[in-house]
């Protein structure tokens, strides 16, 4: 069976960070930048025929404050940490006056771009593992998410949990709502879903360290691991790409990380030098402007004996022992 590359993005604007970022904070510039970045990404996805899932906060669908308030569920979570409650958030009248809390134009643009799926990031950026929330409140939030999406012609099929707080006890609610897939966490203790209070600084540091020095083969997901006993599909996260400014050291690091991650050491070596010599014409990875998934495949040193039944290759880059599966080698199967 061929492999697959799954791209997913969270569309949340201020709703995703409102508990710790105010709109006059420096970080708010990044939120405003999303309004330029999203159309640019959609153009790129369309140009390269790339599919992507956009996990969207349900409140962003609203065209006006009146519509927003009409969609609010009657039953709401009573978080022990009152800062997490989104319902007291001041909002403007509509998207023109408050582009950080309304985004129907972005939703419409995504929906109008081929191969783009709009998923839910819950209605209110709901925290499924926080003290004070309960099943009834989640059910109401889910109903509101489904209804707000349906009002705009969107049928929800998948979910990304805010802050990855998956609560397995709610699986049956998802199935009943027509949700078939969720974005799960990578394997390992450090990625175990936990409430905000338990996501301590050491846990965050370990997650960051693992992102830049991946320690094992755990990121590649086998097809037979996707379907869960609950009836849902766990589309596990494997490679978080951070937004970086082009030309900075972090940009070079992120690009090299992507190349090394896919086992294309030749591409990685050329990353600073410009074009690839093997004739690629499309860009589907961060390898560089003239590098392609097919290009990565041709560039990489590949052991014939390591080829698997599913078509994946094993990484032969010396730092990783032969036999370990590398995660973004999936890049090379995109064109198959
Ligand atoms: Zn979020």
272 burial (CB, 10 Å; 0-12 / 13-18 / 19+) is exposed
CATH label of the domain that carries residue 69: 3.20.20
What's the confidence (pLDDT) of residue 256? 73
Q: Distance from the CA of 30 to the center of ligand 1, in angstroms?
A: 14
Q: Distance from the CA of 130 to the center of ligand 1, in angstroms?
A: 14
Contact criterion met (CB below 8 Å) for 55 and 8: yes
Among 270, 264, 328, residue whose Cα is nearest residue 4: 328
Q: Are residues 227 and 268 in the same domain?
A: no
Name the strands in the sheet holding 181-182, side by side, starting at the edge strand that comes first in the sequence: 8-11, 52-56, 116-120, 158-159, 181-182, 233-234
| Overall number of domains in the chain | 2
Q: Distance from the CA of 273 to the center of ligand 1, in angstroms?
A: 36
Q: 2 pLDDT band (50/70/90 cuts)?
A: confident
Residue 244 lies in a domain: no
Q: Are residues 101 and 142 in the same domain?
A: yes
Of the chain, the percentage scoring pLDDT greater than 90 comes to: 56
Q: What gap in Å lies between CA 21 and CA 26, rounded to an integer? A: 9
Residue span of the structural domain in which 217 resides: 8-234
Average confidence score pLDDT of the chain: 78
Neighbours of 225 (CB within 10 A): 13
Q: Distance from the CA of 213 to the center of ligand 1, in angstroms?
A: 25
pLDDT in tens, 112-159: 999 999 999 999 999 999 999 999 999 999 999 999 999 999 999 999
Residue 32 lies in a domain: yes
Least confident piece of the model among 165-174, 245-254, 306-315: 306-315
Q: Distance from the CA of 70 to the center of ligand 1, in angstroms?
A: 23
Q: Residues 61-80: what's their mean pLDDT?
A: 98
What does the longest C-alpha to C-alpha distance in the chain come to? Answer: 62
Q: Are residues 104 and 200 in the same domain?
A: yes
120 bridge partner residues:
56, 159
């Amino acid at each position: 069976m061929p492999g697959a590359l799954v791209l997913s993005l969270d569309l949340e604007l201020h709703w995703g960070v409102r508990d710790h970022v105010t709109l006059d904070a420096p970080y708010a510039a990044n939120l405003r930048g999303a309004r330029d970045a999203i159309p640019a990404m959609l153009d790129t996805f369309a140009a390269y025929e790339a599919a992507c899932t956009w996990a969207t906060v349900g409140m962003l669908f609203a065209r006006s404050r009146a519509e927003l308030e009409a969609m609010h569920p009657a039953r709401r979570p009573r978080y022990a940490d009152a800062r997490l409650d989104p319902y007291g958030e001041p909002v403007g009248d509509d998207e023109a006056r408050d582009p950080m809390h309304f985004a129907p134009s972005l939703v419409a643009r995504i929906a109008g771009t081929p191969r783009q799926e709009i998923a839910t990031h819950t209605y209110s950026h709901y925290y499924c593992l926080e003290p004070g929330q309960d099943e009834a409140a989640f059910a109401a939030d889910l109903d509101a998410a489904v209804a707000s999406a349906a009002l705009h012609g969107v049928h929800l099929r998948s979910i990304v949990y805010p802050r990855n707080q998956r609560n397995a006890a709610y699986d049956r609610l998802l199935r009943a709502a027509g949700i078939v897939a969720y974005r799960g966490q990578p394997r390992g203790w450090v990625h175990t879903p936990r409430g905000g209070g338990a996501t301590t600084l050491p846990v965050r540091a370990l997650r960051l360290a693992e992102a830049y020095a991946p320690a094992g083969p755990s990121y590649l997901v086998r097809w037979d691991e996707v379907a869960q006993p609950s009836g849902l599909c766990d589309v596990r996260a494997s490679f978080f790409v951070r937004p970086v400014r082009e030309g900075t050291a972090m940009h070079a690091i992120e690009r090299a990380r992507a190349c090394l991650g896919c086992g294309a050491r030749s591409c990685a070596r050329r990353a600073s030098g410009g074009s690839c010599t093997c004739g690629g014409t499309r860009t589907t990875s961060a390898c560089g402007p003239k590098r392609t998934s097919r290009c990565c495949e041709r560039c990489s040193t590949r052991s014939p004996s390591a080829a698997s039944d599913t078509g994946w290759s094993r990484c032969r880059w010396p730092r990783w022992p032969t036999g370990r599966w590398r995660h973004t080698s999936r890049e090379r199967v995109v064109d198959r």
